[in-house]
Amino acid sequence: MPAPVPPFTRETAIQKIRMAEDGWNSRDPQRVAQAYTPDSRWRNRAEFLHGREEIIAFLTRKWAKEIEYRLIKELWAYDGNHIAVRFAYESRDDSGNWFRSYGNENWEFDDEGLMRVRLASINDVPIKESERKYHWPLGRRPDDHPGLSDLGL
């Protein structure tokens, strides 16, 4: 199935979001970077990135620190070549401390469907291991696993 391109409909925006979620859950920086334009611009928390090479370096650092990373994304809004998502992911650090990170992203795409702008705001909340809600094996979230709204997040 070809990747959706702008202008997005509700259905194609949801498809694009799931493709992004699946990519990030692969924790493969090279694979993920291919979804962005070569000159893509990011704001991720307080970091500003430009281009695929910086994205790959950032994701490599991220997933070295955020162990057992599992992510769920959900549509917030869409219009033309823009999509807004909310997300939550769970991960632990190398000391075994668990976190749930909540955030919002604003995306802008080029005509071929590659993301050229990603603006992310994220907050981390320490959680107990017993409070985790994401228990699927590492990798793609199973189709029957609840989404954010279903989980009350």
Concatenated DSSP letters of 107-132: EEE-TTS-EEEEEEEEEEEEE-GGG-
> How many other β-carbons are positioned within 10 Å of the β-carbon of residue 50?
11
- pLDDT, tens only, 35-48: 999 999 999 999 99
10-33 per-position pLDDT tens digit:
999 999 999 999 999 999 999 999
Per-residue pLDDT at 1: 67
Name the helix (H) or strand (E) containing 16: helix 10-26
pTM (two decimals): 0.97
- For the four alpha carbons of 98, 103, 108 and 112, in that order, the dihedral sign comes to positive
The third-level CATH classification (topology) of the domain covering 10-131 is Nuclear Transport Factor 2; Chain: A, (3.10.450)
Mapping DSSP to helix (H, G, I), strand (E, B) and coil, where does residue 71 land?
Answer: strand
Residue keyed to tokens 């009350």: 152
pLDDT on residue 2: 80
* Segments making up each domain of the chain, as ranges: 10-131
